[in-house]
Amino acid sequence: MELTSDVKTRVERSGEADVVYVEGEMCLPGAGHLQRVLATTLEAGRRVVLDLAGATAIDLAGLQLLCSAHRTSRGGPRTFELRAVPERLRNTACAAGFDARTLVCPYRGDGACLWKD
């Protein structure tokens, strides 16, 4: 059985940032595609902004990819941030335990966790 991806991405260079626009489901079937886009974008060493306004769903695979991209960005001059996170994605993240108040995240203490309020 082949998994089909329901996630689309578009990368735009804007000033000093690369903005990655996501549309669709950030779930297991599209995890490979999303991982490649994030890895390639982060390798450029610029500020990366992930715009989630068009994201319709996220699962544990998607949440883990976001945290992995954030950890990767912490090792150099680049930064990684989320923008326009829909309420339903925040609710899913919180329900899965991705909440800066309770998450066991190494960046929680310095206020850099992706899931801060």
CATH class of 7-95: alpha beta
Residue 29 to residue 107: CA distance in whole angstroms:
28
Domain boundaries, the chain: 7-95
Average pLDDT across each block of 10 residues of the chain; the chain has 117 residues. List them in order: 70 91 94 93 91 95 93 84 94 85 65 72
With 0.85 as the threshold, say if the pTM is over it.
Answer: yes
Instruction: Report how far apart, in Å, the C-alpha atoms of 7 and of each of 39, 57, 91, 92, 102 are.
Output: 16, 10, 19, 17, 29
Strand partners, 26: 58
90 neighbors 61 (Cβ within 8 angstroms): no
Residue 46 to residue 56: CA distance in whole angstroms:
27
